[in-house]
């Protein structure tokens, strides 16, 4: 959060504070849910950011605020522990996979 400029921080806080109970019951395209480390997490898309949080009663406990399409965002969505980033980066098949994605888009 500290890496965001103040206006982005304020916009983010406004968006998060406006989350109501009804969003969890709807099929909102900006909200997804998944299990990670044995907990139910929600992923909210807010412009260029992805916010990962869990509900604890009426409270939202935010775990990550990440730029969209970042490596850490990818790791969390794929249910990989973020501490394995260095291991993953050193594995040749990971880089081959990424190169294959760019070749397929051409």
Domain residue spans in the chain?
6-81
Contacts of 36 (CB under 8 A, 6+ apart): 52, 76, 79
Q: Which pLDDT belongs to residue 106?
A: 53
Q: Where does the pLDDT of residue 30 fall: very low under 50, low under 70, confident under 90, or very high at 90 and above? A: confident
pLDDT digits (tens, 9 = 90+) for 33-85: 888 778 888 888 888 889 988 988 888 888 888 888 888 888 787 776 555 55
């Amino acid at each position: 959060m500290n890496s965001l400029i103040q206006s982005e921080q304020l916009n983010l806080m406004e968006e998060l504070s406006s989350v109501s109970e009804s969003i969890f019951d709807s099929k909102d395209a900006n909200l997804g849910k998944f299990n990670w480390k044995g907990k139910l997490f929600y992923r909210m898309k807010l412009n260029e950011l992805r916010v990962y949080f869990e509900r604890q009663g009426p409270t939202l406990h935010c775990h990550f605020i990440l730029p969209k399409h970042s490596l850490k965002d990818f790791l969390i969505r794929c249910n990989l522990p973020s501490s394995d980033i260095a291991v993953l980066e050193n594995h040749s098949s990971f880089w081959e996979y990424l190169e294959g994605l760019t070749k397929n888009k051409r």
